């Protein structure tokens, strides 16, 4: 009985770690894997202790199944002032999908925070702003808060540095968005995310609009309906 009591106390800490991992996976768009973590933990508890997961973990499972909006992370905002009124602007969006090699919840969180910090540093150094973050995804804009005629080229150069520093998939799209307090909304935001999902690790995929804006400065090859960036001319100026 004493062993059983110690087992029950010990499993509480394990459930907290399991809940963190489930939430991180869900917020990263990996709902099936988050649910698998719950089922694996349940089997372990039933087999070893003869008990079911605690109420908190069961509630989290139900929230994930229902895709409860309460599980969405708060949008990470840049320290730069947000626009007080909505406006339409032509921007370039860079989506950076991170490959995080960690199974333990604490290690996963640490790897995510370290990688996202690196993304912010690189993006801001090239004149962009990281508008939204998930544990394994960062969305950045170039031109939403400051006008740079070479915004598309800045985005490609940032992506080129990101793939050299991190294990990442990168998608870049350009076009008109609506910029407001909640960040940028529009087709390029969605398109950039789709491109990073199509990219392999270490690849940068551009849409047609971005390709036109960086012509002569970036070596490209066709990749389906997109274009894969092979090399960037460090001395080239942006297309006006």
Tokens of 101: 């090699």
Give the DSSP H/E element, type plus range, for residue 62: helix 55-66
Question: How far apart are the C-alpha atoms of 25 and 173, rounded to whole Å?
Answer: 26
Q: Residue 152 has what pLDDT? A: 94
Q: Give strand pairing partners of 223.
A: 226
The DSSP line for 128-193 is -EEEEEETTEEEEEESSSS--TTHHHHHHHHHHHHHHHS-EEEEEEEEEEEEETTEEESHHHHHHH
Per-residue pLDDT tens over the stretch 132-163: 998 889 999 998 665 556 899 999 999 999 99
Q: Encoding tokens for residue 38?
A: 């719950």
pLDDT for residue 76: 52
Q: Residue 75 above 80 pLDDT?
A: no
Inter-residue contact 233 to 217 (CB < 8 Å): yes
Task: Find which of 9-13, 67-71, 199-203 is predicted with most confidence, using mean pLDDT.
Answer: 199-203
Q: Select the more confidently predicted residue: 235 or 218.
A: 218
Element (H, E) at 226: strand 226-232
Element (H, E) at 92: strand 87-98
The proportion of the chain whose per-residue pLDDT surpasses 90, expressed as a percent, equals 44
* pLDDT tens digits along 107-136: 888 888 889 999 999 999 999 999 999 888
76-101, pLDDT tens digit by residue?
Answer: 545 455 555 678 889 999 999 999 87
Query: Please, is 93 exposed, middle or buried when counting C-beta atoms within 10 Å of its C-beta (0-12, 13-18, 19+)?
Result: buried
- Name the band, by pLDDT with cuts 50, 70 and 90, for residue 192: very high
The separation between the first and the last C-alpha atoms of the chain, rounded to the nearest angstrom, is 76
pLDDT above 50 for 4: no
- pLDDT at residue 5 tops 90: no
- Dist. CA 164–CA 34, nearest whole Å: 30
CA 122 – CA 127 distance, rounded (Å): 9
The confidence score (pLDDT) of residue 144 equals 65
């Amino acid at each position: 009985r004493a062993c059983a009591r110690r087992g029950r106390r010990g499993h509480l800490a394990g459930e907290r770690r399991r809940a963190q991992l489930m939430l991180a996976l869900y917020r990263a768009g990996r709902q099936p894997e988050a649910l698998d973590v719950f089922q694996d933990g349940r089997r372990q508890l039933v087999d070893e202790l003869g008990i079911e997961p605690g109420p908190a973990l069961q509630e989290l499972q139900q929230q994930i199944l229902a895709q409860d909006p309460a599980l969405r992370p708060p949008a990470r905002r840049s320290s730069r002032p947000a626009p007080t009124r909505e406006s339409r602007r032509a921007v370039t969006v860079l989506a950076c999908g991170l490959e995080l090699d960690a199974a333990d919840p604490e290690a996963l969180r640490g790897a995510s925070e370290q990688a996202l910090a690196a993304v912010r540093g690189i993006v801001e150094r090239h004149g962009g702003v990281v508008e939204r973050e998930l544990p394994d995804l960062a969305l950045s804009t170039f031109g939403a808060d400051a006008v740079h005629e070479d915004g598309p080229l800045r985005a490609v150069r940032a992506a080129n540095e990101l793939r050299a520093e991190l294990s990442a998939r990168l998608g870049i799209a350009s076009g008109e968005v609506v910029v407001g307090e909640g960040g940028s909304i529009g087709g390029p935001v969605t398109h950039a995310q789709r491109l990073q999902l199509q990219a392999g690790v270490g690849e940068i995929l551009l849409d047609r609009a971005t390709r036109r804006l960086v012509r002569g400065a970036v070596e490209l090859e066709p990749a389906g309906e997109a274009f894969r960036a092979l090399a960037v001319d460090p001395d080239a100026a942006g297309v006006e």
